[in-house]
Amino acid sequence: MQNTRLNSLFDLIVRNIAQWFLNPWRRISLLIISFLFGFLMGTVTSTTTGQRAELDIVVAGFLVFLTEVSSRIVYRRPPKQQRVLWVESLNYFKVGFIYNLFVEAFKLGS
């Protein structure tokens, strides 16, 4: 790739953002936001698919597929390697999403 000004600017921005997230408090706050956003998306998904009640099986299969793909991305690396921030954020998003689906199932069961 050529070293254009736009490419250099993009590399500088990515490097600065990576430096900014090296602070442990910022990293933890981003992971908590990812978890809570996954929780929100679980609520949105269960509410909208439950309201329509037409494509429940298709949506459930698609969500299982997405969950398995994200698990494959997260856990294909050896455990001793340090995880990349976006991979760790994806894992926290997935955990929040699945946790919310369990909470919704308990609410419907009671």
Q: What count of other Cβ atoms lies within 10 Å of the Cβ of residue 54?
A: 9
How does the average pLDDT of the chain come out, rounded?
A: 88
Average pLDDT over residues 28-39: 95
Give the other-Cβ count within 10 Å of 60's Cβ. Answer: 13
Is residue 67's pLDDT more than 90?
Answer: yes
Local confidence band at 36 (pLDDT 50, 70, 90 cut-offs): very high
Q: Which long-range contacts (CB under 8 A, 24 or more apart) does 58-64 make?
A: none
Domain ranges of the chain: 24-109
pLDDT surpasses 70 at 110: no
pLDDT for 1 beyond 70: no
44, 96 Cβ separation under 8 angstroms: no
**Which bin fits 62, alpha (ψ -120 to 50), beta or left (φ > 0)?**
alpha
For residues 3 and 38, the model is more confident at 38
Position with higher pLDDT, 94 vs 51:
94
- Written as six digits, the tokens of 18 are 């990576």
Tens of pLDDT, residue by residue over 92-103, are 999 999 999 999
Please report, for residues 18, 30, 33, 45, 97, the alpha-carbon distance to residue 62 in angstroms, rounded to integers and kept in the order given: 32, 26, 24, 12, 14
pTM value is: 0.81
Q: Give the per-residue pLDDT at 48.
A: 86
**Dmax over Cα atoms in the chain, in whole Å?**
61
* Gap between the Cα atoms of 26 and 29, Å rounded: 5
